[in-house]
Amino acid sequence: MNYPIWDVPLTGGGLLIAAVAVVHVFISHFAIGGGLFLVLTECMGLRTRDASVLAYAKRHTSFLTLVALVFGAVTGVGVWWTTALVNPSAVSALVHLFAWVWAIEWVFFLVEIVAALVYRYGWDRMDPRTHQAVGWVYFASAWLSLLMINGILTFMLTSGKWPETQSLTDAWLNPGMLPSLVVRSAVCVALAGVYALITSSQLADAGLKQRMVRYSAKWVIAGAAVIPIAGLWFAGTLPDQARFLASGGTPIITAFTAASVLLSGLLIAGTLFGPMLFPRQTHVTFACVLAAIALGATGATEWVREAVRKPYVIYEYMYSNSLRPADLADVSSVGLLASSRWHVPAKSDWHQPVTIGRSVFRVECSSCHTVSGLNSIKFATRGWDKQFLDQQIQYLNTLKGSMPPFIGTDEERAGLVAYLISLQADGPAPSAALPARSRGERLCRR
């Protein structure tokens, strides 16, 4: 409520965050697993004294450096940019709570970037032992960066004892932290293999291609074998409401859960019956198809993780519209718009229900709903009359467990009803004015 609302027409801000974040996750996890892949592949080449394997590892290093340091860095900035604009209150809360965790992560990230560049340009310039040491530094710093961020991400869903203790330790070492770390580490290994299939499938030497394609496929299978076990462990730490939403409570979330499982199974089957069994026949086009399937699985899984938090953005602390349960009584008494620094109506609008309702919608509903685009409120409320709308809004969190309760005064609720009715009519606003009260001016009071 203390920040301006950033409107994203048609798609809404949530889809914009998802589009950037899914790509970033897909790249950043490869950057971590790819570091381990490179070091172990270099070790294998040195141990077997196979110059062709070392030459492949050198070329793959350039591929990783380009993808991870350019596209990974750009999408990482994009995640910060989009989340800070769409939900600045949540970002502010996380930055203040985890300030030292972020600081440590940024140190690891800086070391990761420097080590990646030194490793890339150290080929044929450094002795093998030192070069491998740099590679291990790169992988370790990248994985430690994941370790730091993972605790923050899982806190948003499994806050554990933090609501009572307000302790940073309890916030970061939350119930979902360790199982999620195992899941993400396994994803890193699997994606290292997926990306390696793209480069190894283009090798001209048939013998080397057979070895490296099959070797890359083993990474996919190894990572994928761990994910279901660790995933069930992670699911066991989720709040009951979150598990309910994913397992049938909300059809769209259940559908994405099923898509995550099906796409992951398709990736395993495609890898097993393609690169693993027929490495010489594996074409780069097929490798790219497997990468697209992996991207789809990543997107579906990340979407489910975000969706099951509803109605919260930070579980039990902040709703998805940036309002906090702790402020419910005060805001309902004083007024939503009176508590919003950027949405105080003009005096002439005190008794204009649609104008008041439009402002209430922007503050309380626009974080998830657009007017006529994706997740359209106009479509969701089509055919509803005034009385039905009012009942739905009054008992919103009871009737729809994935939505926060309506927070505001009776006048603001009446204004929201009038605004939603006006959207259905696509015509002039309802003529009924808000009830006149001696305290009506509280809508514009700071």
Q: Note whether 332 and 187 are same-domain residues.
A: no
Question: Domain for residue 260, yes or no?
Answer: yes
Q: Note whether 379 and 401 are same-domain residues.
A: yes
Residues of the chain with confidence (pLDDT) below 70: 1, 344-350, 426-446
Which pLDDT value is given to residue 329? 86
Question: Domain for residue 4, yes or no?
Answer: no
CA separation, residue 174 to residues 13, 166, 191 (Å): 28, 12, 26
Q: Note whether 369 and 282 are same-domain residues.
A: no
Q: Note whether 237 and 337 are same-domain residues.
A: no
Q: Note whether 255 and 343 are same-domain residues.
A: no
Q: Note whether 356 and 384 are same-domain residues.
A: yes
Question: Domain for residue 5, yes or no?
Answer: no
Q: What is the pLDDT of residues 374-403, one digit of tens each?
A: 889 999 999 999 999 999 999 988 888 789
Tokens read off for 271: 């890898």
What CATH number corresponds to the domain at position 363? Answer: 1.10.760
- Give the DSSP letter of residue 318: E
Q: Note whether 119 and 230 are same-domain residues.
A: yes
Range of the domain at 387: 326-445
Q: Note whether 257 and 141 are same-domain residues.
A: yes
Helices 12-48 and 99-122 cross at an angle (nearest 10°) of 40
Among 319, 340, 358, residue at a domain's last position:
319
386, 421 in Cβ contact below 8 A? Answer: yes
Question: Domain for residue 274, yes or no?
Answer: yes
Task: Sort 200 into a burial class: Cβ within 10 Å, 0-12 / 13-18 / 19+.
Answer: buried
Quote the CA–CA distance of 145 and 109 in Å, as a whole number.
Answer: 6
The two most distant CA atoms of the chain are separated, in Å, by 88
Backbone conformation region of residue 316, classed left if phi is above 0, alpha if psi is from -120 to 50, else beta:
left
Among 285, 319, 353, residue at a domain's last position:
319
Q: Note whether 335 and 268 are same-domain residues.
A: no
Q: Note whether 314 and 362 are same-domain residues.
A: no
196, 37 in Cβ contact below 8 A? Answer: yes
Question: Domain for residue 1, yes or no?
Answer: no
Quote the CA–CA distance of 323 and 331 in Å, as a whole number.
Answer: 9
**pTM across the whole model:** 0.90
Question: Domain for residue 26, yes or no?
Answer: yes
Among 270, 302, 319, residue at a domain's last position:
319
50, 2 in Cβ contact below 8 A? Answer: no
The domain tally of the chain equals 2
Question: Domain for residue 156, yes or no?
Answer: yes
DSSP 141-191: HHHHHHHHHHHHHHHTT--TTHHHH--HHHHHT-TTHHHHHHHHHHHHHHH
Q: Note whether 313 and 389 are same-domain residues.
A: no
Question: Domain for residue 51, yes or no?
Answer: yes
Q: Note whether 377 and 394 are same-domain residues.
A: yes
